[in-house]
Amino acid sequence: MRTPDVDTLQNDPRYRKILELDFSEMTPFVLNNIRGKEKMAVLFMALNLATVIFILVYVVWGITWDHFDGRQVFLQMLAGVLAGSILIIPPHEILHGIAYRLLGARRIRFGVDFQQFIFFVTADRFPISRNELRFLAMTPFTVINAVCIALTATLFTEWALFSATLLLSHNIMCIGDFALTSYANRNTGELYTYDEIEKRKSYFYEKTGVN
C-alpha cells in the first residue's frame, strides 16, 4: 500500500491527526510510552534487566575463578559505559540515516537537543507508515546488538564484560526508539507520521475510514 503524502494526510478526510509532537516535548513523550504492558515497553525493561543480571553473574564468576580481578572489571565496565553512551552515538544515528535512505528519504538531517540530551535524525516532510516507523526506529538497536554479540562470541571473548556494559549503556540510550515503537503499537489501524524540520514538530495521523 502506497504511503500518502503530506498534503493528503493534512487535507483528505480519510486521515485524522492524532498527535502533534514538538521536539522539545520528546522527553515526557518517551517516558509516557515506555511504561505499561505494551510489548516493546516490556521488552525494553526485560532486556536491560537481563543484561544487568548477566553482568553481575559474570563478574562474580570471573572473580571467584580468578579469570580477572577488580581492576579489570572496573576498566572494562568504565570503557563499556563510555563507548555505549558516547562513542556509539555517531554510528547509531548513521544507521537511522541509512534506514531513512532505504525507505526512500533524501532530505535527511541530523540534530541534537542538549537540554534533553537527545540525538535524532529527521527527514523533512517524508511520511512513513507504522511498519516503516518500526524499521526506522529499531535498525540501530538490532544492528549494533547483532554485530557486538557476534564479534564478542567469535573473536573477543575476553572482552565480554566490556561488550555487555556497552550494550547495556547503548540499549538504555535506545529508550526513545522503543518508546516510538511502543506508541505506534498502541494505536490500532493504519498509522502514518512525518516531521517538519523548520517547525521542529512530528505529526501522527490515523486512517478514519471516512470516504
Report the C-alpha gap between 79 and 85 in whole angstroms: 10
Residue 210's nearest CA partner among 186, 185, 194, 189 is 189
H or E segment and range at residue 146 = helix 130-154
Whole-model pTM above 0.75?
yes
pLDDT, residue 201, reads 95
Report the C-alpha gap between 80 and 59 in whole angstroms: 14
**Cell 535498525, residue?**
139
Residue 6's nearest CA partner among 126, 107, 100 is 126
Report the C-alpha gap between 26 and 31 in whole angstroms: 9
Per-residue confidence in pLDDT tens, the chain, 211 aa: 678 999 999 999 999 999 999 998 999 999 999 988 899 999 999 999 999 999 999 999 999 988 888 899 999 999 999 999 999 999 999 999 999 999 999 889 998 888 877 888 999 999 999 999 999 999 999 999 999 999 999 988 999 999 999 999 999 999 999 999 999 999 888 999 999 999 999 999 999 866 5
